[in-house]
Structure 1
Amino acid sequence: MPAKSQAQQKAAGAALAAKRGEMPKAKLKGASRSMAQSMTRTELEDMASTPRKGKPQRVGRD
């Protein structure tokens, strides 16, 4: 599932780094913390690898 915004892509990247052990999980906040707990490594890789170009900074809630 590709990221819908730049903020979502960045949060997925932070969660992925924590899953890989590149940064402590205690440093995660908000969306990245919940992503790290609820998503698999493959899902995070797909979301984090989405190009940021052309994506809005944030997407409003529906």
Structure 2
Amino acid sequence: MPANSKAQQKAAGAALAAKRGETKKSALKGASKEMAETMSEKELEELAATPRKDKPEKT
């Protein structure tokens, strides 16, 4: 499932980093916090790996 916007891709990257222990989960806000709690690492990887070229900033 590819990200629909740059903002969604960034949020998935932040959630993935927290899920892997690279950043603190307490540092997450908004969508990235919810993503970290509800999505699997594989789902987050797919969203975060979406190429950002030609994506809108927000949807």
TM class by shorter chain equals over 0.9
Corresponding residue number in structure 1 for 2:10: 10
Question: In structure 1, what is the Cα distance between the partners aligned to 2:40 and 2:22?
Answer: 16
Identity %: 66
TM-score by length of 2: 0.99
Letter in 1 for 2:2: P
Unaligned 5+ residue runs, structure 2? none
Distance 1:50 1:17 in 2: 16
After the TM superposition, which segments of 4 or more aligned residues of structure 1 sit over 3 Å from their partners? none
Count how many residue pairs are aligned between Structure 1 and Structure 2. Answer: 59
Q: Give CA deviations for 1:12-42 in whole Å, capped at 9, x if unaligned.
A: 0000000000000000000000000000000
Q: Residue 31 in 1 paired to residue 28 in 2?
A: no
Q: 1:54 deviation in Å?
A: 0.4
The runs of 5 or more residues in structure 1 that have no matched partner are none
